[in-house]
Amino acid sequence: MSVIVVKRPPRALPPDVPSEEVTLESPPEIPREGDNNMLMNLLPMLGMGGSAAFFFMPGIGNPFMKVMGVIMLGSTLAMVIAQIVKSRQGPSGQMNQERQDYLKYLSQKRREVRRTAHKQRDAQLFLHPSPDQLWSIVAEGRRVWERRASDGDFAQVRMGLGPQQLATPLKAPETAPVEELEPLTAHAMKQFLSVHGTLDGLPLAVSLRAFYHITVSGDPDTVYGTSRAVVAQLCTLHSPEDLTVAVVAAPGALAEWEWAKWLPHVQHSSLDGAGTRRLIVEDLGEVEELLADDLEGRSRFNPQGAPVADTPHVVIVLDGGGVPADSVIAGADGLQGVTILEVVPGDLDELRSSLAVQVAPGKLTLESSSGAVYTGEPDVLSVSEAEALARLLAPLRAGSADGDEPLLANLDFTDLMNIGDAGSVDVSRTWRPRTLHERLRVPIGLGQDGQPVMLDVKEASQEGMGPHGLCVGATGSGKSELLRTLVLGLAVTHSSETLNFILADFKGGATFTGMSDMPHVAAVITNLADDLTMVDRMRDAITGELQRRQELLRSAGNYANITDYEKARAAGAPLEPLASLVMVLDEFSELLTAKPDFIDMFIQIGRIGRSLGVHMLLASQRLEEGRLRGLDTYLSYRIGLRTFSAAESRAAIGVPDAYHLPNVPGAGYLKYDTETMVQFKAAYVSGPYRSGGGGGGGGGVRTDRLPVLFTAESVERHVIEEPEPEEVPEQEDDALADTVLDVIVQRLQGQGPPAHQVWLPPLEESPSMDRLLPALAVSPERGVHAAEYTAQSKLVVPCAIVDKPFEQRRDVMYLDFSGSAGHGLVVGGPQSGKSMILRTLMAGFALTHTPYEVQFYCLDFGGGGMLAFEGLPHVGGVATRLDAEKVRRTVSEVVGILNAREEFFRDNGIDSMGTFRQRRAAGQYPDQPWGDVFLVIDGWATFKTDYEMMDPVILDIASRGLGFGVHLVITSARYTEVRPALRDQLLNRVELRLGDPMESEFDRKRAENVPTGQPGRGLSPDKLHFLSGLPRIDGSSNTEDLSDGMAHFVSTVAEHWNLPPAPKVRMLPTMLSVNELPPGGAHPERGIAFGVDETTLSPAFIDFENDPLFVVFGESESGKSSVLRLLAKQIAERYSTDKALMVVADYRRALLGELPDSHVYKYCAAGPQLQEVLTGLAGSLGRRMPGPDVTPEQLRNRSWYDLPDAFVIVDDYDLVA
């Protein structure tokens, strides 16, 4: 059984009851008969009548005077009549009025007395609760063992219910003799005193300190029921440290007290075979032996004597047990601080105790040795009720401190919440359904009276303090601890289905460390100061949550607020749970300094959060005047811990008191309306956890571990041999030990449905391609591919994950190359991940399209990362910056594909690339090896600089390519590096972190928030942040071994593709045999073939008839002489000797013997010879000039002369010149 330590807070006081004596007023007296002299009353009236006659005397002609006379005469007559009527009534009219007034007075007093009676009844039932309600005190825990030895009602026990005098005694007034009083009111006063002077049904309590021997006798069942009620009250309201209970029962009566074995007050410090020994014995002498230390030094009983200091009061229940003749306790005078409660199932012949309690069903009589007798109805408690209560008390143990100074003493969280051992927290009990009053209401500390100070974050219309609040506290004031206490208290008392949290800390402190594992937590956001981009992300996430709740209320039935929604759900409507959301933001003041516009979101929450169930608590170390502009009206409660200055205290709670708080962590004020302010001391939740269960310490003998029956009687101990002592490990350092918070969080983990996640972790780990795509599969037709991917027919591939904090989710980011945005541009600063996203793009195509459907031709002018993909069956070739020939050939290959396809479309009537893809997928055009072709250039600026002559070629590909399935994808450090004509063609754009965010084409402000130092992070066209995927399929997000991951990916795809790969880039041969060229006369219309064109890899021709001059440039040993030999051979094959002759200048004699002799007119190995030959040739040529008689037709076919053409071949022109 686990142990629950009870640390008693200062005692809760009962309701105040007035005690002033009430003296009633005297009832009215009967009036005496007076002299009714009618003449004396009529004389003034007759005088008025005579005066009225004056107005009618002759000579007075004024009509107005006569009117006045008539009025005066009428008044006189009315007064005479009224006097006559009054004289006939006598004094009875006055008496009736006085009687009514006095009865009204008694009615008013009756209401006052009834209010006092209600207060008195409430206070008495609070002090002396009914025995059948004691279990609720134990279950609630606040008042368990509340009475201390210094309290005036210590050891007072309720015996039953009976009459008591009114707390405000009613005193009769001094009156005239009864015969002179008005009888009705006098009788009413007498009845008032009789009825209201005493109250029925109030507890009849007995102080055990005033009696050393009490007998309970009468009906046996009632006797035991009353005795059980007495013991139950004592053990519920008194600590075992202050009160000890022992039972001395005859063997036949032990069964009646079997239930008492569970009471902690009955446990002795010694042990038996079942644990601590129970003070339930058959002889009083055993009790005296066991309690010898407690009984030693006690004086004889004195009712007026002072209680025994520092020792418990002992209550001995004597039920027929043996009493030794020399018993100290049962002596004639008894012992101070010891009370014998003798149980006598039957009637007593004589009074043998200082107080005799006689009981019967429904009847109670208390008779003291002084002769005082009280009657009433006895309390009874059944055995089952008593045992249930005892079992509730069984795990409780007295704590080491009682917290007499609640504002200074440390208060453990478990004591505040009354949950016992943190390691035994049971959510099935703590998460019980809560009433509307208990909902969102949690203690945060103790007040000056030792009572828990409750923070209720419900709205005021639900009797709460309001949904939003403020907490300010200087460094060391305990602010973080208070926030942890509040959050954990709400989590312990509310299920994750009804309450969720957003916990944010701007400075990234340890305020909410360890709380993320609670099922209630929807977001834990820290380190915002280190990365201000997260602030905007948090705003999007919270704003999105507000909108989500609004849409949920609207779609569920247009509910006005969450209260109506929950009512409908409780009534059976099929609605999903919508938990209240408490957002706690620490260091919000610094957040507003960094992001002043964030206050708009706070105001929005303050305005609409109440109806959406969103509650906000803003905490800070400092609070400047005016910082809360517009927001303070929504902060309905304020918590002020110790502040740095009086001004900050005034700004927080309106008064400077928080500045003068003691330097004790957790001391503060709670202000929740314009006037109410409560001082409190917060609980401590971060202390090291100490298990409540106690194992026996080392040393002493050991007993066996066999189970035994737990009985009231002592159980024999079976001692076993003590084994060799084991080495006890050193106690774990408190700094490394689990805290109370850690242990409770572990108990809560996994206990309820997880909260709806408002905050997803920031984009930090790049996903591998197998996480961006459906499950991969292998098939002979498609190789390694995403089996359930549905966009194979389109050029849509995943390449990244995009962060959508407003929608509280992440989606895969796709790039679509099937439409007008078929060309791509990746822009990003240095080390921003441009090459990475290109490889991810290619990996995406490789896993969703076959090498028959897409092909890649790559120019790597970056860091060489594209070479890792050269073995991919989809890749036709990868050329680096240093491989100039391959660069040119790659571009030429793509241009050749474009030109050939354009001609193929025309010849086959293909109207679009979509038609071509469809027909080719259906099996047509098997001779077409290319599908959609991608020319990928990584590092556009370098390419443009090194191969400037290819810039127009690339622009041509961009302009014409999309219509024929040729795509261009390039990377650049800046947008401006790509000239507008080309940039306008590249509509599919990926923007990574830019060197200068002001160059962003999507959103300059948001581009500033793209973090540096995280390759792959960028901004999508939708202005959302994304993180590039990794070109690997092993599920790893590690970039350290990315080269191994890419090699594994390439080898896996290549291994499972058994069909032809993408056509490779064809290169110029290193050795070209003359036999591979057409003979010189094979194409007379095109001229003479002398090599292979690198663009088309077809023969290259020179037409000397149109271009008679030809120069061959080259370094030494580059093959210039070989070209001349080839040309000479081709000329000889092209022309007969009568058509062409050659003059050869060969100073180095490299061509000697290598030329066809039939066509060599002159071979010159020296300058003089060459000069002579050329001089003669010049004269011959001059004679060939057409004369005036040559016709145009002769000029056209050169028939005006029949001499052979002269080919002057000069090897090493620099020697000749």
CA dihedral 290, 293, 295, 296 (to 10 degrees): 140
Amino acid 701: pLDDT: 45
**Residue 504 to residue 610: CA distance in whole angstroms:** 20
**Residue 424 to residue 3: CA distance in whole angstroms:** 9
Helix (H) or strand (E) holding 99: helix 92-127
For 972, counting Cβ atoms within 10 Å of its Cβ (0-12 exposed, 13-18 middle, 19+ buried), the class is buried
**Residue 168 to residue 52: CA distance in whole angstroms:** 63
User: Is there a binding annotation on residue 478?
Assistant: yes
- Return the biggest CA–CA distance within the chain: 188
Alpha carbon 672 to chain centroid, angstroms: 25
- DSSP structural state of residue 255: G
User: Is there a binding annotation on residue 1171?
Assistant: no
User: Is there a binding annotation on residue 474?
Assistant: yes
**Residue 1062 to residue 869: CA distance in whole angstroms:** 13
User: Is there a binding annotation on residue 476?
Assistant: yes
646 φψ region: left (φ > 0), alpha (ψ -120 to 50), beta (else): alpha
**Residue 1181 to residue 254: CA distance in whole angstroms:** 150
Nearest to 1031 by CA among 1164, 826, 843: 843
User: Is there a binding annotation on residue 926?
Assistant: no
Amino acid 817: pLDDT: 94
User: Is there a binding annotation on residue 477?
Assistant: yes
Alpha carbon 582 to chain centroid, angstroms: 8
Nearest to 634 by CA among 658, 647, 616: 616
769-1055 fold? Rossmann fold (3.40.50)
The structure tokens listed for 692 are 């409540």
- DSSP structural state of residue 278: E
User: Is there a binding annotation on residue 636?
Assistant: no
**Residue 1177 to residue 1016: CA distance in whole angstroms:** 71
**Residue 170 to residue 191: CA distance in whole angstroms:** 12
Give Cβ neighbours of residue 28 (< 8 Å, ≥ 6 apart). Answer: 95, 98, 99, 101, 102, 181, 182, 185
Q: Could you tell me how many residues make up the chain?
A: 1217
Q: Tell me how crowded residue 655 is: count the other CB atoms within 10 A of its CB.
A: 15
* CATH of segment(s) 205-398: 3.40.50.300
User: Is there a binding annotation on residue 382?
Assistant: no
Write out pLDDT tens, residues 2-58: 567 777 777 888 888 888 888 888 888 887 655 445 555 666 666 666 666 666 666
User: Is there a binding annotation on residue 93?
Assistant: no
The structure tokens listed for 113 are 């007395």
**Residue 362 to residue 218: CA distance in whole angstroms:** 12
**Residue 1184 to residue 409: CA distance in whole angstroms:** 126
* CATH of segment(s) 413-682: 3.40.50.300
In sequence order, the β-bridge partners of residue 468 are 616
Site of tokens 């005021």:
460
Alpha helices in 128-145 (DSSP H): 134-140
User: Is there a binding annotation on residue 833?
Assistant: yes
Amino acid 728: pLDDT: 44
Q: Which amino acid is at 304?
A: Q
Q: What is the CA radius of gyration of the chain?
A: 54
User: Is there a binding annotation on residue 1115?
Assistant: yes
Phi, psi of 452 (to 5 degrees): -60, 135
Amino acid 30: pLDDT: 80
Phi, psi of 1042 (to 5 degrees): -65, -35
Q: Contact 247/280 with Cβ under 8 angstroms?
A: yes
Q: Tell me how crowded residue 664 is: count the other CB atoms within 10 A of its CB.
A: 18
Indicate which residues carry an active-site annotation: 587
**Residue 633 to residue 630: CA distance in whole angstroms:** 7
**Residue 1133 to residue 641: CA distance in whole angstroms:** 107
User: Is there a binding annotation on residue 550?
Assistant: no
pTM of the model: 0.65
Cα 587 to Cα 184, 194, 479, 497, 526: the distances in Å are: 75, 67, 10, 28, 11
The structure tokens listed for 727 are 């080495």
Q: Give SS3 for 143.
A: coil
In sequence order, the β-bridge partners of residue 267 are 278
Q: Contact 833/1028 with Cβ under 8 angstroms?
A: yes
From the first residue on, what is the mean pLDDT of each consecutive set of 10 residues in the chain (1217 residues)?
70 85 86 56 65 66 70 75 63 77 91 93 94 92 89 94 92 81 87 89 94 94 96 95 94 92 91 82 91 87 84 94 87 87 89 88 91 93 95 83 62 85 87 90 87 90 92 92 94 94 86 91 88 86 94 92 92 92 93 89 92 94 81 91 91 90 91 87 88 45 61 68 52 66 92 91 90 93 90 86 92 92 94 94 95 96 90 95 92 93 93 91 90 96 93 95 95 94 94 93 90 92 94 92 94 94 87 81 82 80 86 86 87 86 89 86 89 87 82 80 86 85
Sign of CA dihedral 984, 989, 994, 995: negative
**Residue 718 to residue 706: CA distance in whole angstroms:** 9
**Residue 163 to residue 121: CA distance in whole angstroms:** 11
Amino acid 697: pLDDT: 39
Amino acid 698: pLDDT: 39
**Residue 622 to residue 562: CA distance in whole angstroms:** 34
Report strand pairing: 452-456 vs 4-6.
Answer: unpaired
User: Is there a binding annotation on residue 959?
Assistant: no
In sequence order, the β-bridge partners of residue 860 are 880, 938
User: Is there a binding annotation on residue 479?
Assistant: yes
Q: Give SS3 for 575.
A: coil
Give Cβ neighbours of residue 7 (< 8 Å, ≥ 6 apart). Answer: 399, 400, 401, 402, 403, 412, 415
User: Is there a binding annotation on residue 1114?
Assistant: yes
Cα 623 to Cα 209, 474, 487, 526, 584: the distances in Å are: 56, 10, 22, 21, 16
Q: Contact 301/369 with Cβ under 8 angstroms?
A: no
User: Is there a binding annotation on residue 1121?
Assistant: yes
Q: Contact 380/226 with Cβ under 8 angstroms?
A: yes
| Domain parsing of the chain, residue ranges | 38-90, 205-398, 413-682, 769-1055, 1104-1216
User: Is there a binding annotation on residue 835?
Assistant: yes
Cα 760 to Cα 628, 811, 815: the distances in Å are: 29, 12, 24
* CATH of segment(s) 1104-1216: 3.40.50.300
Write out pLDDT tens, residues 191-225: 988 888 899 999 999 999 999 999 999 999 999 99
Lateral strand order in the sheet of 313-319: 198-207, 156-165, 373-378, 363-368, 355-360, 213-218, 338-344, 313-319, 243-249, 280-281
Phi, psi of 396 (to 5 degrees): -80, 140
Q: Contact 553/616 with Cβ under 8 angstroms?
A: no
Report strand pairing: 667-671 vs 637-641.
Answer: antiparallel
**Residue 152 to residue 159: CA distance in whole angstroms:** 18
For 893, counting Cβ atoms within 10 Å of its Cβ (0-12 exposed, 13-18 middle, 19+ buried), the class is buried
